[in-house]
Amino acid sequence: MHEGLQPFQVRRLIAEGEMASPTAGICPGYVQANLVILKNSYAKDFLDFVLLNPKPCPLLEVIDDGTPISKKMAPGSDVTKDIPLYRVFIDGKFVEEPSDISSFWENGMIAFLIGCSLTFEEALVKSGIRLKHYEQNKRVPMYDTNIPCAASKKFHGNYVVSMRPIKNNLIEKAIEITSQMEYAHGAPVQIGNPQQIGIKNINAPDYGDPLEIEEDETPVFWACGVTPQAAAIKAKPDIMMTHSPGYMLICDKKIDNFIS
């Protein structure tokens, strides 16, 4: 349905309420981004947190001119309307999951675009690595872990990771491909041992949808841009807005020539 569309065309469909699906596999070859919006009083400390944790939070753009309009990654895009689904946190508690957060935007808010592992998926597919969440039209499964983030003054917590079952004979290829894409979390953080990073039940992800792991497959875990949402629960800013896991901003930057 969305094949052949450019990112700006997809964003327009999203803003007009004509598309509300997860963004995995849409506009292959283009960078996708996670979103965090905070008031200025929390933004400096959050920026420190992001810079201290480039693996789960690779910074792509800071929008700090008083508008929600991207200048670098998706020029002209209103990040409060151009993502299919958002999350709103009040005092660190999740309260709402709307398709438009423009009514929450206030003067002085700052938006952060953060790299996303959905960006590297096309490169995996082109190399012959099957992705089950594509085939089954599901969101990639994501999990809270025990891997600690470096703390800023207000923000702290542990990594969130995404998981993809990879055929055993293709794991080295997946590592090679993703290690070259630090702006999309880079190489995996764990392979084959979810318990080691605090995941008790791989069939019950904290975000996204579960995926079956077959005998000739191994669960491979990458750092995930949902990490700031977990940190926000602990920092408890009076308001924080983010993408909903699996629903990203599709940017105009192509993977082939992107330098963060």
Give pLDDT tens digits for 125-176: 989 998 988 888 888 999 999 999 999 999 999 999 999 999 999 999 999 9
Closest CA to 111 of 156, 60, 48, 178: 60
Nearest-Å Rg of the Cα atoms of the chain is 17
Cα 50 to chain center, whole Å? Answer: 13
The yes-or-no verdict on residue 84 having pLDDT over 70 is yes
Angle, helices 40-52/227-235, rounded to nearest 10 degrees: 130
Question: For 175-194, how does the pLDDT look when each residue is reduced to its tens digit (9 = 90+)?
Answer: 999 999 999 999 999 999 99
Q: What percent of the chain shows pLDDT beyond 70?
A: 97
Tell me which residue has tokens 């789960």: 56
pTM of the model: 0.91
Q: Give just the sign of the alpha carbon dihedral 55, 56, 61, 65.
A: negative
Query: Residue 138's pLDDT is what?
Result: 86
**How far is 201 from 194, CA to CA, in rounded Å?**
8
Query: Residue 76's pLDDT is what?
Result: 97
Task: Decide if 37 contacts 20 (C-beta within 8 A).
Answer: no
The yes-or-no verdict on residue 259 having pLDDT over 70 is no
Which of 9-13, 44-48, 109-113, 120-124 bottoms out in mean pLDDT, i.e. has the lowest? 120-124
Q: Read off the pLDDT band of 228 (50, 70, 90).
A: confident
Q: Read off the pLDDT band of 118 (50, 70, 90).
A: confident
Higher local confidence (pLDDT), 172 or 4: 172
Q: Read off the pLDDT band of 2 (50, 70, 90).
A: low
Task: Decide if 89 contacts 95 (C-beta within 8 A).
Answer: yes
Beta bridge partners of 161: 143, 223
The yes-or-no verdict on residue 1 having pLDDT over 60 is no
